[in-house]
């Protein structure tokens, strides 16, 4: 990937908290709409994504459900965000999903702003909320900590401007940048099959700019973007980083949490999607028939051995691919965990590759190449895993998932 010019992007802010503490109402009040009263049973059962503007600065909001059943949705919400707004009702205090939200934010290493809501109520006790938060190691400013907190009311609109200003303050500190001049990438927030419009995916663009006509792949689905709609249903000609958009044009509905990326051709998109669909089926079968260790499990074993490096041998069919793979894997490295490529080269996986891998307890990656018989025999004997790929994204995704697994 060529590194282009970076621009400041809008903060992505996920609203989290216990059921009925007023998350959707707060967003409604901020957007001056009325989603909450239209919800079945008054509870949120999907993730909504919206963008607002405050003094010329855009802010992207992701609403999440507070109901206990939606843990996975909340976890995804916390992962694709820059800031979590923790909504706590001042008359109810810290409750189970408040605590869960704190844990998701912490796991995702995302800063929290506390919105103490419903302060219009006579029974509101914001001081009690702050004290209860202490027990979960959320120290707000007035209690000598660093977490920003704002007392608000979605009902009267009190302090909503202050909440927005606090978000902008926090996002300035985070110094959020993205490159708009590259092919778009991001996360599927939710997707559905709409009777009239076909598959509709709500995506968050995180890098690059998405446009109608772009060919997108998300998980095992692909499509050509027929239209982009903002949260008010207005067609858009482009969506830059941090913009949530509805994408029409997918052949099938991707899964919430899938990554999406723009690719060059329909043929390429179909190839990637088909490959992943096949892999999904194979994985399902493999789960049923064998307990063979996955890449992630191998890394977990290394973690228990106290290592934060992932040694790899990479073999591929052409030098350009091997270089690209090595570069992409090295770029995944953080201060805590790194891929260490002990050997890379062109050609099939040989016995000497396996022997070398064994001395470093490395995993072997074959890209568009296979291992010969002798190599497979040695690998079996030494317990060395050889993984085969023909799509770089999948390879990188697997290693990335395994590397983050090493840290949790
Ligand atoms: P889930 O998405 O189901 O978790 O709920 P939520 O956190 O989005 O809460 P929601 O916006 O559905 O509000 C729950 C109830 O609290 C509704 O009856 C709202 O009218 C009420 N409510 C929300 N904010 C306030 C507020 O600031 N003051 C008062 N008095 N009531 C509020
Ligand atoms: Mg809600
Ligand atoms: Na509710």
Q: What residues does ligand 1 touch, defined as CB less than 6 Å away?
A: 17, 19-25, 36, 42-44, 65-67, 117-118, 120-121, 153-155
Atom of ligand 1 minimally distant from the CA of 97: 4
- Pairing relation of β-strands 221-229 and 48-54? unpaired
With 0.80 as the threshold, say if the pTM is over it.
Answer: no
Rounded average pLDDT over 152-173: 96
Rounded average pLDDT over 78-105: 92
Pocket test for ligand 1, best of 40, 48, 65, 154 (most atoms within 8 A of CB): 154
Give the separation between CA 18 and CA 83, rounded to whole angstroms.
Answer: 17
- Alpha carbon of 241 to ligand 2 centroid (Å): 25
Q: Which has the higher per-residue pLDDT, 295 or 278? A: 278
- For 323, the 3-state DSSP assignment is helix
Does position 393 have pLDDT exceeding 90, yes or no?
no
- Alpha carbon of 80 to ligand 3 centroid (Å): 23
Does position 34 have pLDDT exceeding 90, yes or no?
no
- For 71, the 3-state DSSP assignment is helix
Does position 14 have pLDDT exceeding 50, yes or no?
yes
Does position 128 have pLDDT exceeding 50, yes or no?
yes
Are 202 and 191 within 8 A, CB to CB?
yes
pLDDT digits (tens, 9 = 90+) for 221-230: 999 999 999 9
CA angle 215, 328, 340 (to 5 degrees): 155
Burial 44-54 (b: 16+ CB within 10 A, else e): beebbbbbbee
Rounded average pLDDT over 307-326: 80
Atom of ligand 1 minimally distant from the CA of 153: 27
Does position 89 have pLDDT exceeding 60, yes or no?
yes
| Count of residues making up the chain | 408
Rounded average pLDDT over 359-375: 89
Give the separation between CA 311 and CA 246, rounded to whole angstroms.
Answer: 40
Atom of ligand 1 minimally distant from the CA of 121: 30
Q: What percent of the residues of the chain are helix, what percent strand, and what percent coil, each to the nearest 5?
A: 35, 30, 35
Does position 10 have pLDDT exceeding 90, yes or no?
yes
pLDDT of residue 39: 80
pLDDT digits (tens, 9 = 90+) for 337-346: 888 888 888 7
Model confidence at 11, pLDDT cuts 50, 70, 90, reads very high
Does position 333 have pLDDT exceeding 70, yes or no?
yes
Atom of ligand 1 minimally distant from the CA of 17: 7
> DSSP character for 39?
S
Other beta carbons less than 10 A from residue 34's beta carbon: 11
Does position 163 have pLDDT exceeding 70, yes or no?
yes
> What is the value of ipTM here, to two decimals?
0.99
Other beta carbons less than 10 A from residue 38's beta carbon: 10
Atom of ligand 1 minimally distant from the CA of 28: 11
Are 366 and 388 within 8 A, CB to CB?
yes
Q: How many CA atoms lie within 13 A of 319 on its CB side?
A: 0
Average pLDDT, the chain: 87
pLDDT digits (tens, 9 = 90+) for 317-331: 877 678 778 888 988
pLDDT digits (tens, 9 = 90+) for 55-69: 899 999 998 887 665
**Backbone region of residue 42 per phi and psi (left: phi > 0; alpha: psi in -120 to 50; beta: other values):** left
Give the separation between CA 107 and CA 102, rounded to whole angstroms.
Answer: 9
pLDDT of residue 83: 95
CA proximity to 133, closest of 166, 64, 86: 86
CA proximity to 392, closest of 331, 304, 335, 337: 331
pLDDT digits (tens, 9 = 90+) for 271-281: 999 988 888 77
CA-proximal residue: ligand 1, atom 3 (nearest)? 43
pLDDT of residue 343: 85
pLDDT of residue 38: 80
pLDDT of residue 292: 42
Model confidence at 294, pLDDT cuts 50, 70, 90, reads low
- Alpha carbon of 8 to ligand 2 centroid (Å): 29
Q: Which ligand is nearest to the CA of 19?
A: 1
- Alpha carbon of 116 to ligand 1 centroid (Å): 12
- Alpha carbon of 11 to ligand 1 centroid (Å): 24
What is the DSSP secondary-structure string of 289-312?
H--PPPHHHHHHHHHHTT--EEEE
CA-proximal residue: ligand 1, atom 15 (nearest)? 20
């Amino acid at each position: 990937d060529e590194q282009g010019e970076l621009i400041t992007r809008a903060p992505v802010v996920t609203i989290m908290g216990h059921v009925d503490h007023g998350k959707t109402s707060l967003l409604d009040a901020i957007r001056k709409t009325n989603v909450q009263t239209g919800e079945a049973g008054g509870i949120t059962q999907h993730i909504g994504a919206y963008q607002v503007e405050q003094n010329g600065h855009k802010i992207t909001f992701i609403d999440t459900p507070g109901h206990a059943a939606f843990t996975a949705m909340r976890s995804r919400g916390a992962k694709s965000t820059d800031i979590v707004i923790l909504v706590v009702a001042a008359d109810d205090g810290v409750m189970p999903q408040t605590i869960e939200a704190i844990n998701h934010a912490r796991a995702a290493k995302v800063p929290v702003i506390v919105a103490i809501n419903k302060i219009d109520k006579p029974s509101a006790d914001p001081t009690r909320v702050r004290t209860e938060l202490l027990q979960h190691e959320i120290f707000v400013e007035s209690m000598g900590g660093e977490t920003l907190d704002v007392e608000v009311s979605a009902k009267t609109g009190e302090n909503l401007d202050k909440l927005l200003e606090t978000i902008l303050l926090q996002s300035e500190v985070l110094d959020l940048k993205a490159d708009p001049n590259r092919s778009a990438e991001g996360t599927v927030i939710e997707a559905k099959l709409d009777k009239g419009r076909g598959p509709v995916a709500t995506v968050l663009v995180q890098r690059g700019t998405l446009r109608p006509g772009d060919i997108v792949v998300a998980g095992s689905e692909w499509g050509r973007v027929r239209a982009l709609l903002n949260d008010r249903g207005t067609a858009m000609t482009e969506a830059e980083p941090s913009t949530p958009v509805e994408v029409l044009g997918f052949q099938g509905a991707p899964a919430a949490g899938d990554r999406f990326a723009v690719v060059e051709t329909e043929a390429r998109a179909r190839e990637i999607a088909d490959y992943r669909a096949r892999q999904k089926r194979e994985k399902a079968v493999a789960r049923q028939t064998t307990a063979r260790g996955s890449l992630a499990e191998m890394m977990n074993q290394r973690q228990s051995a106290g290592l934060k490096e992932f040694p790899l041998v990479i073999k591929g069919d052409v030098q350009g691919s091997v270089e690209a793979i090595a570069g992409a894997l090295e770029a995944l490295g953080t201060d805590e965990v790194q891929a260490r490529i002990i050997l890379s080269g062109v050609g099939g996986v040989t016995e000497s590759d396996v022997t070398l891998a064994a001395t470093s307890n490395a995993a072997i990656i074959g890209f568009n190449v296979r291992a010969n018989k002798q190599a497979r025999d040695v690998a079996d004997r030494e317990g060395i895993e050889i993984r085969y790929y023909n799509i770089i994204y999948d390879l990188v995704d697997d290693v990335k998932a395994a590397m983050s697994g090493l840290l949790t």
